[in-house]
Amino acid sequence: METLIQPKVLKGFRDFLPQDEILRAGLIEKLTNTYRAYGFVPIDTPVLEYTEILLRKSNGETEKQVFRFEDNGGRDVAMRFDLTVPFARFTAEHREELYFPFKRYHIAKVWRGEKPQAGRYREFVQCDFDTVGSDSASADFEILSLMKAALSSIGVDDITIHVNHRGIFNRFLTKTGCSDKSEDILRIVDKIAKVGEQEVKDELTEVTGSTSSAEQILDYIKPCDTFAQTLDKIEKLAGGPAEDSKRMRDIYAMMVAAEIDKAYVLDPSITRGLDYYTGVVYETFLNKLPSIGSVCSGGRYDNLAGLYMKDKVPGVGSSIGLDRLIAGLSQLGLATQKGSYLDAEIYNTSADLSIYYQKVAGLLRKAGVAVEVFPDSVKMSKQYAVTDKKNIPWGILISAEEAQNGTLTLKNLSTREQFQGITAEEAAQKILGK
C-alpha cells in the first residue's frame, strides 16, 4: 500500500468551504450586477504573463513578492499580482478592437508572496472597475458614484468615502516651496490616520527642514466642516481657482444633483502614497470599523498603457478589496452565511421508492423549485443532520401509499407544519409562496 500524502494547502493559501464560498459568490454577483448597471463590461486576461510585461514598471517590493518562473518553453513568466498591469497590456494590445471611452470591470484572483499574517493572503480576489479614454468630471464622478452603489448593493451603507485631488495638493506644495520633496511629503501625510498628527508633524519638519512648512502642510490637510468649505480653503491655499479645483467643484455638484453627497468627505490628507495617481484619489472606510483600512480605493491616472503604446490613455478607476471587506463584514456580524441554494429536500425513507422520488424531483424542478433527493436510504437522523447543514427550509416525506396515489407530505422544517397528501404541483406553490 502506498503511503498517504498529508492533504494540506500552501502557506498563505486557503480553501473555501461551501458556506464561505456561497457568501463570497453572493457578494461577487451583487457587485457584478451593479458594475453592469453602470455600463461597465467584463474582460478577462491570462493568469500567467511574460514577466517583462508585469514587472517593468514595478518597484523592488513587488518583484520580491511575485510568483515567477521559467516555463517548459524557457519563457520567463509570472502570475499576475494585480489587475491593473494586465489591463494596461490588454488596452495597448487591443486598442484597435476596443472603443474609447472604454469601461471595464474585472473580478479575479491575483497572487503575491507576502508574509502571511492576519487578513493577508498570497491568493486573493480583486474587484476592479476603470474608465479609460476620458479625462472628465463625469467619468470621475461615475466611478465615485459606483463605489457607493456597489457597496450599498451588498448591504454596506454605513461608509465614508474620502476624496482628494492630487493636483490641488501639488499646486499648494509648489506655492510653499516644497514641491521638490512632494513624494516624501505625500507619503508622510498619507499615514496620518495611522500614526497620528504629532508623528506626521515631526516627520514633515525633518523632511522640509522647517517647522513652519510642516505647520502649513498640517493646516492644509485638515478638513473643515463641509465639503464646500474644505474645497474653498484648499483652493485658496493652493493659490486660487484652477482646472483641478474646478474639476473637484464639478464632481461635488454632481454628487449633490444625484443626492449622494452625504457619503463623501473632501479629505486633503488622502494621497494614496506614492502611486501613479494624478487627479482625484479616494479611499473608503467602514464607519463602524475604520481600523481595517480602506475597502475601496483608487484614483485618476494620466497614462494607463505608456509602457506598451505611444498614445496616452488617461483613466480613472477603483478597486474593492473583497477579502478585507469580508473580514470586516464578519467582524460586524453582517456576513450572512447559508449552506446551500435548496428550497426542499426529498427524504429517502425507502429504497423501493427511489424512482418515484426522482419523478417528484423532476416535477418540482419544472415548477421552479430547487430540490434534491437524499440519495441513500439511511437513518432519518443522519438525513436531517445533512439537511440542517444545508439550511434547507422544506422537507418532503413520501409513504408507499402516497407514492401509489401520486402525492406527498410537505413539511416546513422550521415551524414543523405539515401538508399531507398533496401533489407535487401543490407543494411547489406552497414552497414558492404562491
Q: Does residue 425 interact with a second copy by CB under 8 A?
A: no
Residue among 285 and 357 whose Cβ is closer to a second copy = 357
Q: Does residue 103 interact with a second copy by CB under 8 A?
A: yes
Cβ-proximal residues to 137 (8 Å cutoff; 6+ apart), any chain: 247, 250, 251, 254
Q: Does residue 397 interact with a second copy by CB under 8 A?
A: no
Least separation in angstroms between CB 126 and a second copy: 14
Q: Does residue 407 interact with a second copy by CB under 8 A?
A: no
Residue among 215 and 250 whose Cβ is closer to a second copy = 250
Please count the residues of the chain: 434
**What is the CB neighbour count within 10 angstroms for residue 238?**
24
- Contact string (CB under 8 A) for a second copy, positions 145-164, x = contact: x---x---------------
Rule CB under 8 A: choose which of 31, 83, 127, 137 binds a second copy. Answer: 137
Q: Does residue 227 interact with a second copy by CB under 8 A?
A: no
Q: Does residue 129 interact with a second copy by CB under 8 A?
A: no
Question: Binders of a second copy among 359-378, rule CB under 8 A?
Answer: 359, 361-362, 365, 370-376
- Contact string (CB under 8 A) for a second copy, positions 194-213, x = contact: --------------------
Q: What span, in angstroms and rounded, lies between the C-alpha atoms of 224 and 247?
A: 19
Phi, psi of 128 (to 5 degrees): -95, 145
Rule CB under 8 A: choose which of 81, 126, 127, 134 binds a second copy. Answer: 134
Question: Binders of a second copy among 229-288, rule CB under 8 A?
Answer: 250, 253-254, 257-260
Binding piece for a second copy, criterion CB under 8 A, among 31-39, 210-218, 238-246, 419-427 = 31-39
Phi, psi of 356 (to 5 degrees): -65, -40
Residue among 232 and 250 whose Cβ is closer to a second copy = 250
- Strand ranges of the sheet holding 264-266, from the earlier edge strand across to the other edge: 41-42, 102-111, 123-132, 315-321, 296-301, 277-286, 159-165, 264-266
Q: What span, in angstroms and rounded, lies between the C-alpha atoms of 66 and 52?
A: 12
Q: What span, in angstroms and rounded, lies between the C-alpha atoms of 91 and 80?
A: 16
Q: Are 112 and 325 in contact (CB under 8 A)?
A: no
Least separation in angstroms between CB 217 and a second copy: 32
DSSP labels, 379-432 = -HHHHHHHHHHTT--EEEE--HHHHHHT-EEEEETTT--EEEEE-HHHHHHHHT
Q: Are 397 and 347 in contact (CB under 8 A)?
A: yes
- Binding positions are 82-84, 112, 126, 130, 272, 276-277
